[in-house]
């Protein structure tokens, strides 16, 4: 169990450090949030219209509408502009809680990865690496890429996540492959 805890702790540090670098220093996620010079007027218009925090798809049918109403709207909107807006009524500049929560999530993920990988005994280093990268790709496919598939989010908005999925989990897999097989 000590080996699992140390492996998880170092693995979480690796994943967390990569996430920090990819979002700040390396600019891998720069395509994820575009700038518009109209941001002040757009925010003013949105905040005067929306009163509840949430994710809005524009246009969409009102709650309780029939399936045929959704299909009709889809046909009517084909080829026209649309938007998905995440609206929050108040910005909170607090990095401490998200960073702590993010590290704890990374710790849980690496611990869970070790659990899954070692069910049949300690796997070889290459199997740990392959399993780690597979977990990263799985998370990318079920998350960011699924948004690209169903909501046509631009590929540049999900490419950074793909790089993260491969690099962070490959480095973690290299670490765990060495650590778990160490006598």
Picking from 51, 59, 54, the residue whose alpha carbon sits closest to that of residue 86 is 54
For 25-41, how does the pLDDT look when each residue is reduced to its tens digit (9 = 90+)? 998 998 888 888 999 99
pLDDT at 183 over 90: no
Q: What's residue 165's pLDDT?
A: 95
Reported as a pLDDT band with limits 50, 70 and 90, residue 156 is confident
Reading phi first (left if > 0) and then psi (alpha if -120 to 50, else beta), residue 136 is in: alpha
For 161-177, how does the pLDDT look when each residue is reduced to its tens digit (9 = 90+)? 999 999 999 999 999 99
Q: What's residue 168's pLDDT?
A: 96
**Domain residue ranges of the chain, discontinuous segments joined by +:** 2-33+93-180
- C-alpha to C-alpha distance for 37 and 40, rounded to whole angstroms: 8
Q: Is the dihedral of CA 10, 16, 17, 18 positive or negative?
A: positive
- C-alpha to C-alpha distance for 133 and 70, rounded to whole angstroms: 38
For 103-144, how does the pLDDT look when each residue is reduced to its tens digit (9 = 90+)? 999 999 999 999 999 998 888 999 999 999 999 999 999 999
Query: What is the tally of helices (H) and strands (E) in the chain?
Result: 7, 2
């Amino acid at each position: 169990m000590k080996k699992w805890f140390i492996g998880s702790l170092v693995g979480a540090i690796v994943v967390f450090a990569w996430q920090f670098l990819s979002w700040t220093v390396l600019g891998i996620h720069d395509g994820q949030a575009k700038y518009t010079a109209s941001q002040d007027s757009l925010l003013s218009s949105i905040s005067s219209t929306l009163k509840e925090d949430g994710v809005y798809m524009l246009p969409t049918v009102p709650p309780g509408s029939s399936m045929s109403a959704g299909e009709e709207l889809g046909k009517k909107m084909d080829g026209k502009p649309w938007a998905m807006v995440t609206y929050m009524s108040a910005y909170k500049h607090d990095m401490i809680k998200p960073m702590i929560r993010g590290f704890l999530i990374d710790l849980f993920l690496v611990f869970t990865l070790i659990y899954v990988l070692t069910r049949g005994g300690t796997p070889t280093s290459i199997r740990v690496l392959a399993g780690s990268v597979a977990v990263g790709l799985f998370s990318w496919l079920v998350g960011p890429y699924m948004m690209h598939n169903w909501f046509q989010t631009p590929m540049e908005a999900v490419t950074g996540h793909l790089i993260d999925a491969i690099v962070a989990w490959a480095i973690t897999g290299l670490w765990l492959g060495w650590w778990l097989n160490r006598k």
